[in-house]
Amino acid sequence: MALGSNLVVTKQNYTVVVGRDARPSGPMIQELVMQTLVGLGIHVVNLGLSTTPTVEMAVVMEHADGGIILTASHNPKEWNALKLLDHRGEFLDAKAGEAILNHVKANDSVFSAVDDLGQITINDAYIDLHIEAILDLDMVDVKAIKKAKFKVVVDGVNSSGGIAVPLLLDALGVQTIPLFCNPNGQFPRNPEPLKAHLTDLSQNVIKQKADFGIAVDPDCRSFGLCL
């Protein structure tokens, strides 16, 4: 089975990129997902703790057949889920999602023989690669940003954004003040970065005399700003 747009088996081996946010259940569920893929003869590129945009980019750079992000987005830490990507690093559309559900309901997966199991490759460099790709964008004026000498408070909701966002800002020469950037999965606020949930960030922007504040959700796909 492939996680592409049509789910038609046409290759000898498939590769799937897997990453997760910092939820307490993440490591456990990621192992279940990866070992299931291995049992199906699918190779896995394990990004470990990562962001949804980073996994999307990694699928393309790895020429993978799909990707899986273990995250429940802005839901509480007790929740977890699978976000599925196709070979373009894009979320599956309704048709592809329905095809997967039908495949699961049919229960017709065939596990591989012991000599044909998939392999897991660990690659923890993709957040750095993602940052490099952002810095290379024509629309990002690195010199101008560094010259501005911004001071920014970052609310990483104690998940993967608490790693990725400060690293990006550091590369841009921004003075970063971390707030809730310990990726332990213990969300200190409602994970959805809406105005009503960003009181601590707003107060710290004022206290630190920062130019603005950035808040993200646990998988770093949504963000909010405090000016």
* HEC string for 8-77: CCCCCCEEEEEEECCCCCHHHHHHHHHHHHHHCCEEEEEEEECCHHHHHHHHHHCCCCEEEEECCCCCCC
Q: What is the dihedral of CA 163, 183, 190, 91, to 10 degrees?
A: 60
Three-state secondary structure call for residue 152: strand
Catalytic residue among 5, 25, 73, 202: 73
Residue 204 has a CB neighbour count (10 Å cut-off) of: 20
Structure tokens of 98? 């329905």
Structure tokens of 124? 């923890």
Dist CA 127 CA 115 (whole Å):
33
Cα distances (angstroms) measured from residue 141 to each of 138, 146, 152, 163, 173: 7, 9, 17, 22, 12
- CB distance 215 to 190 below 8 Å: no
Residue 15 has a CB neighbour count (10 Å cut-off) of: 22
Dist CA 177 CA 213 (whole Å):
9
Q: Is 73 a catalytic residue?
A: yes
Which residues are marked as active site? 73
